[in-house]
Structure 1
Amino acid sequence: MLKKIPILVFMILYIPVVGCQLLPGNIDKTTNDHTPTTVLRVIDGDTIDVKHHEQTVTVRLACIDAPERKQKPWGSRSTARLKQLLSPGQEVRLKPLYTDEYDRLVSEVFVGDRNISLSMVEEGKAVVYHYFLRNCPESRNSLLQAEKSAKSQKLGFWNQRRPQMPWDFRRLNSE
């Protein structure tokens, strides 16, 4: 029993400190549904800047990956569609998941009940990021079904003979 006490003390002291560092600014998982969050700009097909508690926060849409801006013509098309879905000044609701290595808040983004990640995948403007799909358990099945449907209908990104996944494009063009 005595061997477990230092571990318990460590957990009690360390976990709250680390947990507070996971989400930037004042965003946390308990208040996000009630705090107004306003779109400032769309950066690309899966990243936006928002104003939350008077802070600018960069948000990466969870569980999807959009073609890169240099991935012609799909990157610009994806960005253009996200700009149509999320215009500056528009109020959104965030469901924060974690902060990534680039200090972006990875979050599901909603306009009303509409999941913006799901809309992007349904239209073939983004693909499901399978590696991170475990972070979206409530949206997982809908995202997978939407991607399957977009792929079979050859919508957007899927309307090419041999689509290059965004993560492959980044890997091959990272120099």
Structure 2
Amino acid sequence: MVPICCIALLIISSFYVPKGQRYDDEAYDVYPIVITCQLERIIDGDTVVMQCPKAHDPRETSHRSVRIWGIDAPETGQKPWGKMATHTLTNIIGSHQTIELQVMAKDQYGRLLAKLFIQAQDVGLEMVEAGAAVVYARYNHDQDYINAQKRAKMSRLGIWQTAGAQQQPEQWRRLHP
């Protein structure tokens, strides 16, 4: 009787996922995780669509919307900075189709939140350095990003060319729901 109870407990416990760990058909067990994906298209200055390996079978892939972690780029309607941010991201990625992602989490819209790396270069950090995005201060406390933003501001690059509330994407979204 005791061995049967032990076996039953082992089987039941194998389905337990500890709090803080997430799993769904196209997510991963624990974040952060590093995966290599293929670029499909650039949506805007901080969102891309990638072909990524599935969690349960890495030989299979799926389309995933990926939000670049730690930055906030101007919205498409935030003229002229939205188009500039998309153009800058396009230039940074260039002809590179294979991109390494350090997936940090999933957001409320189901997008992967990830740092993107092309040959060990942090794409999000490059966006901030170019003045094409701001540090998402609520989530990103990385000093490299903060210093890059200070340099971009001092050099009046990208969105920092002209003073005004429209430069902060989060503020702009509040004014244009």
TM-score, length basis structure 2: 0.79
Partners of 1:150 and 1:79 in 2: how far apart? 17
Aligned counterpart, 1:41: 41
Q: Identity of paired residues, percent?
A: 31
1:71 to 75, 78, 93: 78
Structure 2 matches for 1:137-156, cutoff 5 A? Answer: 140-156=142-158
Q: CA deviation at 1:143?
A: 0.2
Range with bigger deviation, 60-69 or 77-86: 77-86
Q: CA deviation at 1:172?
A: 1.1
Whose helix fraction is larger, Structure 1's or Structure 2's? 1
Q: CA deviation at 1:18?
A: 5.0
Partners of 1:31 and 1:160 in 2: how far apart? 37
Partners of 1:30 and 1:61 in 2: how far apart? 15
| Residue ranges of structure 2 left out of the alignment (5+ in a row) | 1-11, 54-60
Q: CA deviation at 1:102?
A: 0.8
Say which SS state the counterpart of residue 38 (structure 1) adopts.
Answer: strand
Contact persistence 1:39–1:48 (CA under 8 A): yes
Range with bigger deviation, 51-60 or 82-91: 82-91
Residue type of the partner of 1:19? R
Aligned counterpart, 1:161: 163
Partners of 1:101 and 1:52 in 2: how far apart? 19
Q: Give deviations 1:29-75, integer Å, cap 9, x for gaps.
A: 68954x53111000000000000122000000001000000000000
| Residue ranges of structure 1 left out of the alignment (5+ in a row) | 1-8, 135-139
Range with bigger deviation, 53-62 or 160-169: 160-169
Q: CA deviation at 1:163?
A: 4.3
Say which SS state the counterpart of residue 168 (structure 1) adopts.
Answer: helix
Partners of 1:82 and 1:68 in 2: how far apart? 13
Aligned counterpart, 1:6: none
Say which SS state the counterpart of residue 79 (structure 1) adopts.
Answer: helix
Name the Cα RMSD after superposition: 2.6
Structure 2 matches for 1:11-22, cutoff 5 A? Answer: 13-15=16-18, 18-21=21-24
Aligned residue pairs: how many?
A: 157
Partners of 1:155 and 1:17 in 2: how far apart? 39
2:92 to 85, 89, 99: 85
Partners of 2:172 and 2:50 in 1: how far apart? 27
| Structure 1 residue ranges, 4+ long, deviating more than 3 angstroms after superposition | 26-33
Partners of 1:153 and 1:117 in 2: how far apart? 18
Partners of 1:117 and 1:31 in 2: how far apart? 16
Aligned counterpart, 2:58: none
Contact persistence 1:40–1:88 (CA under 8 A): no
Range with bigger deviation, 147-156 or 81-90: 81-90
